Amino acid sequence: MSFIVEQAGGLATTGTQRIMELQPTGLHQRCPVILGSRNEVERIVSYHLETQ
């Protein structure tokens, strides 16, 4: 899904890194997912960076 969103001009992230850069370590591995338009996702990521 993140591949399709990014090809359409959007962004897919965990809040700290791109989902496409994740290296799976297990079959049922889970991670946070934020998908959407680039502007909206960048705004949410900025909120995460402010709280850290």
Q: Give the model confidence (pLDDT) of 10-42 as tens digits.
A: 999 998 899 999 999 999 999 999 999 999 999
**DSSP of 1-52:** -HHHHHHTTEEEE-SSSBGGG----STT-----EEEEHHHHHHHHHHHHHH-
User: What is the pTM assigned to this prediction?
Assistant: 0.80
The structural domains of the chain, ordered by start, are 2-51 (3.40.190.80)
What was the pLDDT predicted at 25?
Answer: 93
